[in-house]
Structure 1
Amino acid sequence: MSEPSRLPFEFHPLPQPTRTLSSSGVEIATYDLGKLGGAGIADQSVLSAHATGFCAAVWAPVTDQLQDYHCASLDFRGHGLSSIPAAGMDWSGTAEDVLAVVDALGLNKPFGVGHSMGGASLLLAEQMRPGTFRGLWVYEPIVFPMQDSGLEPAGLKIQDISSSNPLVASALRRRDTFPSRSAAEQNFASKPPLSDLCPAALRAYVEYGFEQLLDGSITLRCRPEIEADTYKMGARHSAFAHLGEVACPVTVARGHTKFPGPADLAPIISQALPSSTLEEFPALGHFGPLQDPVIVAAAVRSALAAVSAGL
């Protein structure tokens, strides 16, 4: 992991989003970052996709390191400034959000970069419409093998609809209001898991993941019940069964495996993909892209170069 002095404390503010119509009438907040450094690498776009409970802005510390590419991002349904689907948080909908944004921005075979739910949504989108992406870099995507397949990692249970799912219970208990942004930032920085985030990513989350109320307090944009519903649906999609249909090159990245979690799925996912590389970051945890955007951006850049070179 980068030395603390090398980790960014600030990030480029996001432009005002446009509204993209996705499935079920959901409106998706869409961010076209362009090339922050001006002239850049022609015809190469990067679309970043965030994890459950977060928003597009948390990728800004990474995309700030990719200023010579045309970068774009989105708030998934129920997150950030996007609207909430009436029918719940089925992950086929988040994949449709990805495709809607690709079409709305006119992205020509972008390179997809996703974290957790965002990585799974990119894989699902490529399965829905093969050839959408020139390549993918996904960090600990939530793609479970089928139950009773014999591939489930030891110690990692597929808990998709049970109220005993610890992530669901944690989301429903989540504190959703703070007296100010500074109070929220200090709270998150003082205890895990969000204390793992680098200063810029944490600031981006607090700045864009919360709405300011009339009394000056702030409240979560991704409501606890929406986050909980998203977790419940995490093992209901069929991405694993169709990984063999993903023809584009995919880098499956993971952090350490000190505790049972999504990192245990990464080798299984990589082996099931026709053209895949497993990349390991033993100094990082599940929030890797938000922990060290410098090293993650370098990895994304290497993957992009390999895809462009046809390696």
Structure 2
Amino acid sequence: MGDPKEKRFAAEGVDLCYFEWGDPQHQTILMIHATGFHARCWDKTIAALPENFHVIAVDQRGHGRSAKPNTLADWSLMAKDVGALVSGLGLENMIGVGHSMGAHVLVQMADVMAHVFDRLVLVDPTITAPEAYNNPPDLEDIDPNQNPVSRRRNNWVSPEAMFAAFQDRHPFSLWQPNVLADYCHHGLLPDDHGEGFVLACPPFLEASVYEGFRSVNPFPLVERLTLPVLILRAQSSKDDVTAARDFANSPTWPGLVNICSNAREVHIPELSHFMPMQDPKRIAAYIAQPFD
């Protein structure tokens, strides 16, 4: 589809960046990235799609080139942002594609604006077992400093230096190198306070997402969902301790497909939670294929 057009949209008081590929006369695929990522992580998946699609990929608030608020703990705000973008652009008959937290955001959107979607593809959604949402956090009490992600290295000399540091490090070593290059190249911004670059999703904000993952219970929304839904579920670990420490393991509750009235699941145990980064062509094929 060639290079995308970079565009801006003011949504819910937050300036969003989004990228657009293809002819708007074709069916739109809306793509929502995972925590800590950005819209251009989808580049290789989009390149593998047929030409007869129009694609919108969004940098969610706090990510990529979108505005940076003070916290991302309230997951409902990200859904409102992207929902406002969809309404503002007048998008309809969309295939909604969300990865990880992006899939959770997509489920929230579908609960209030199902009419704009044709179907949903949830790529290893961060929707864990129902009991995890029994005691939602008080958002005022969330301290992202408690999460080790807040201590991620933030300063880099160049995207190439970031790539060199990550290419042999798990789970990035599982990714296709060209996807990792996109992640590094588009995931850094010039450091306004010095030389070099900083992460486009600051570690403190990324940590606040993880700390707030129980802020919205998705199960009442999933139970009301009647749209056709495809769930792509990745590998999981029987060792709960290992699973909790390894972002490569699936966060998706295996029973999710049974809660959603019009869903089917494809379990892909040979791929990790980062399946679009490991096998973008395969994920593109699932997105483009009409549901039976």
TM-score by length of structure 1 reads 0.81
- 1:274-310 Cα distance to aligned partner (Å, 9 max, x none): 10011121211011111110111111122xx22xxxx
Aligned-residue offset at 1:89: 3.4
| Match of residue 291, structure 1, among 262, 278, 281 | 278
| Aligned residue runs from structure 1 range 1-311, under 5 A | 12-16=2-6, 18-23=7-12, 25-35=13-23, 43-66=26-49, 67-86=51-70, 88-147=72-131, 169-213=147-191, 217-258=196-237, 260=243, 263=250, 265-302=252-289, 305-306=290-291, 311=292
2:30 partner SS: strand
Comparing both structures, which one devotes a greater share of its residues to strand? 2
2:19–2:56 CA contact under 8 A, matched in 1: yes
Instruction: Give the deviation of 1:142 after TM superposition.
Output: 1.2
| Superposed CA offset, 1:90-149 (max 9, x none) | 111111122122123321121011100001100011012232311110111112344378
Range 262-271 or range 57-66, more displaced: 262-271
| Shift in Å, 1:13 | 4.1
- Please state how far the C-alpha of 1:185 moved relative to its aligned partner: 0.6
- Taking the aligned partners of 1:200 and 1:111, their CA distance within structure 2 comes to 25
Partner SS state of residue 295, structure 1: helix
Kindly provide the amino acid, as one letter, of the partner of residue 144 in structure 1: T
- Checking the alignment, whether the CA contact within 8 Å between 1:27 and 1:83 is kept in structure 2 is yes
**d(CA) in 2 for partners of 1:286, 1:168:** 23
> Runs of 4 or more off by more than 6 Å in structure 1?
158-165
RMSD between aligned residues: 2.8
Q: Structure 1 residues 128, 238: CA separation in 2 closer, same or farther (over 3 Å shift)? A: farther
2:11 maps to a residue whose letter is: S
- Equivalent residues, number: 281
Deviation readout 1:150-202 (Å, 9 max, x if unpaired): xx9xxxxx99989899x963311211111111111111112112222212211
Gap change, CA 1:12 and 1:216, over 3 Å in 2: farther
Q: Structure 1 160/293 Cα, relative in aligned 2: closer, same or farther at 3 Å?
A: farther
Match of 2:87, as an amino acid?
D
| TM-score computed with the length of structure 2 as normaliser | 0.86
**C-alpha distance in 2, partners of 1:46/1:147?**
32
Pair 60,252 (structure 1): closer, same or farther in 2 beyond 3 Å: same
| Offset at residue 216 of structure 1 (A) | 5.3
- Which residue matches 1:8? none
**C-alpha contact 2:175 2:274 (8 A) present in aligned 1:** yes
Classify 1:139/1:168 alpha carbon distance in 2 versus 1 (closer, same or farther; 3 Å).
Answer: farther
- Letter in structure 2 aligned against 1:45: T
- Decide whether aligned partners of structure 1 residues 62 and 266 sit closer, same or farther in structure 2, where only a CA change above 3 A counts: farther
Give 1:131's aligned amino acid: H
Aligned partner of 1:7 in structure 2 is none
Residue 3 of structure 1 is matched in structure 2 by: none
- The sequence identity of aligned pairs, in percent, is 28
Contact 1:145-1:241 within 8 A present in 2 as well = no
Q: In structure 2, what residue type is equivalent to 1:142?
A: T
Distance change in 2, residues 1:289/1:90 (3 Å): same
Please state whether the residue corresponding to 1:147 is helix, strand or coil: helix
